[in-house]
Amino acid sequence: MASLRGVSRTARALPLSQLTRPAAPACVQQRRSNASAAAAAASPELQELEVNSTLSTPDLSPEEKAQFRPWKRAKDRQLNLPGSRYQYHPPKFTRGPLHPIQAPPASDPIARDFVPGPFNNPRLKQTYRSTISSDLMTLTYNHVIPGTPDREPAERLRTWEGDSPYFKNRPKRAPRGAPQLMVREKDITFRNIPELAEISVASYVPDCKDNPDMLLVARMALLAITGAIPEVTKNKTDVQGFGMRKGVRSGVKVTIYGHQAYEFLDRCLNIVFPRIKEWPGIKGSTGDSAGNLAFGLRPEDLALFPEIQGNYDMYPAKMIPGARVFIKTTATSDRQARLLMQAMGMPFYGSLKD
């Protein structure tokens, strides 16, 4: 049966007797067999080879053609064949790499977690790739004479000083006044040029206590401006000022990555920020000292997004929320992140915090 699979479909439909008959005229077969007989005599393994080529098969006779009726075969068939559509469905659960049933990779179009795209190349990303990244690397280049020994960074953890024998091998203490070590700034090299990693947009809607629709509108607004489905957040603690209880749904947030993040930033910089009245820029003191910047958008600023402006009537009056936007970069300090953002076209005002 395995040998039948290589034959064409028309040939397969024929009775088996037709396929096994002598294929070529005797003279041709004779000539070939002369050459192959010598080879067969030399090595007995070659005897298993088929001497006749399928290309030299003569045309079917009229009687044989009359006998070839595939429609009759299909009509006489008792059982229905499976449908012509592709019936495979990937498994709903992954059960580990050793399970016999394996889900296809996410890049496979039939996979459950497949996401099509990308459908365009964002303009800001093209600018970053072509111009900004090389500029950042070149302009922040710090020449070190080859052979200079690396300077040992200062020890930030505190050792246990004293006579006690228990201090030996005890792990060092955290720095005084700071429970966690801050990120150390690294020089920009060709390997770690700051890049946009992700953007989180969050909106806290304490008014949803009285009007639950506020949460829905906030969700719609964030969905429209980011292009990703937001998730609803709950209060972590009781907030006396807002009269909110712990565990009550009170906000929405969404995190976007990659092309979506670039496009969101591009839209902010080129369309939304210039439309804000009396806008001074982003506050220069923003940043968490680890290369992540943030800014806020008031409700009237959020309404300036073309996605909301183009369908403004859909949103109930005075229910569009404000939002906080967190830009996460791969920079290791705020000034590097600010350099990246300034190169992308984000203006800063006020005193800059490094």
139 in contact with another protein (CB under 8 A):
no
Contacting residue, 62, 83, 100, 109, with another protein by CB under 8 A: 100
| HEC readout, 286-348 | CCCCCCEEEEEECHHHHCCCHHHHCCHHHCCCCCCCCEEEEEEECCCCHHHHHHHHHHHCCCE
Contacting residue, 35, 229, 243, 296, with another protein by CB under 8 A: 229
Q: How far apart are CA 283 and CA 199, in angstroms?
A: 18
**Least CB distance from residue 117 to another protein, whole Å?**
8
**Which residue, 119 or 166, is less far from another protein as judged by CB?**
119
88 in contact with another protein (CB under 8 A):
yes
Of 239, 226, 341, 350, residue with least CA distance to 294: 341
Q: How far apart are CA 340 and CA 193, in angstroms?
A: 9
Q: How far is CA 21 from CA 54, 226, 272, 306, in A?
A: 12, 69, 79, 74
Strand order in the sheet with 196-204: 231-234, 249-257, 196-204, 323-329, 292-297
224 in contact with another protein (CB under 8 A):
yes
On whether the CB atoms of residues 296 and 313 are closer than 8 A, the answer is: no
Contacting residue, 13, 279, 285, 298, with another protein by CB under 8 A: 279
Q: How many residues bind another protein (CB under 8 A)?
A: 48
**Least CB distance from residue 215 to another protein, whole Å?**
18
Q: How far apart are CA 315 and CA 139, in angstroms?
A: 46
**Least CB distance from residue 101 to another protein, whole Å?**
5
294 in contact with another protein (CB under 8 A):
no
Contacting residue, 128, 204, 273, 295, with another protein by CB under 8 A: 273
**Which residue, 316 or 347, is less far from another protein as judged by CB?**
347
Please give the residue ranges that form the binding site for another protein (CB under 8 A): 87-88, 90-96, 100-104, 108, 111-115, 119-120, 122-123, 223-224, 227-229, 259-260, 263, 266-267, 269-271, 273-275, 279, 281, 306-307, 310-311, 345, 347
